[in-house]
Amino acid sequence: MKLNGKLLIIFVLILGIASCKSKEQTTTKSRTSKAEQTAAKPEAPRSGETRNFQKKGDGLFGENALSGISASRGSQATAPVVIYKTKNDYSNYIMVALDDSKTKVVSYPSARDAKMQIPDSLGYGFWLDKRGIKPNMVVLQYTVQQWMTIDPFPSQETMLANILDDAPFEEIYYCGKRGNYGDNINAELNKKLQSVEGKAEEIFTKAR
């Protein structure tokens, strides 16, 4: 009887240990799942931040080009210089970048950055990019002034529902790096455009 009692106690202890391990594994899985969900959920950008949800890329329209003004701060000399034409004057409207399927917003300006990304007007209908122009960018119905004071900040679904023009660009050109120009880049670009009567494709690399 004493032996049977000891065996019973040992069996109960084994069951208790197994139960504790099972609870720990369940708790760990639950925490991991919550952490993954939190990491996958996009947040509104902080003040002064341009959000970019794309994977890292290289080249003219890689990650650096998504936030052109931020890139120029960090590396002024190597920042790409891009000029473009649009079907209408969208200089005071918000642009956001979509993924290749055009079903998801991958980059958009914060309220604070919006005003600093208004492009400069050049000759022959061109604009000097300060947004970080990409061919897959679209124009939203929000003006810069509205974007700076909007509350609550639009979700991706709201942005997609408020697209004003999903194909705004007529031409996009890469004009070298910022370090190739002096302090008055606008005047230099206009001079180059004048030399070819506005035919930018003769002197710059056409991206669209």
Question: For the segment 140-189, what is each residue's pLDDT rounded down to a tens digit?
Answer: 999 999 999 999 999 999 999 999 999 999 999 999 999 999 999 999 99
Residue 97 lies in a domain: yes
Residue 2 lies in a domain: no
Instruction: Quote the pLDDT of residue 64.
Output: 37
With a pLDDT cut of 90, the percent of the chain lying above it is 60
Residue 14 lies in a domain: no
Among the listed residues 128, 115, 127, 122, the one whose alpha carbon sits nearest the alpha carbon of residue 88: 127
- Token look-up 């290749």 returns 100
Distance CA 200, CA 192 (A): 8
Instruction: Quote the pLDDT of residue 25.
Output: 55
Residue 22 lies in a domain: no
Question: Taking the model in full, what pTM does it have?
Answer: 0.66
Backbone φ/ψ region at 28: left (φ over 0), alpha (ψ -120 to 50), beta: alpha
- In which band, very low, low, confident or very high, does the pLDDT at 15 lie, cut at 50, 70 and 90? low
Distance CA 118, CA 96 (A): 13
Residue 13 lies in a domain: no
pLDDT digits 0-9 by tens, 86-106: 999 999 999 999 999 999 999
Residue 9 lies in a domain: no
Residue 36 lies in a domain: no
186 — phi, psi (to 5°)?
-60, -45
What is the residue range of 161's domain?
Answer: 51-206
Q: What's the full length of the chain, in residues?
A: 208
Residue 43 lies in a domain: no
The amino acid sitting at 140 is: L
β partners of residue 85: 171
Q: How many domains does the chain have?
A: 1
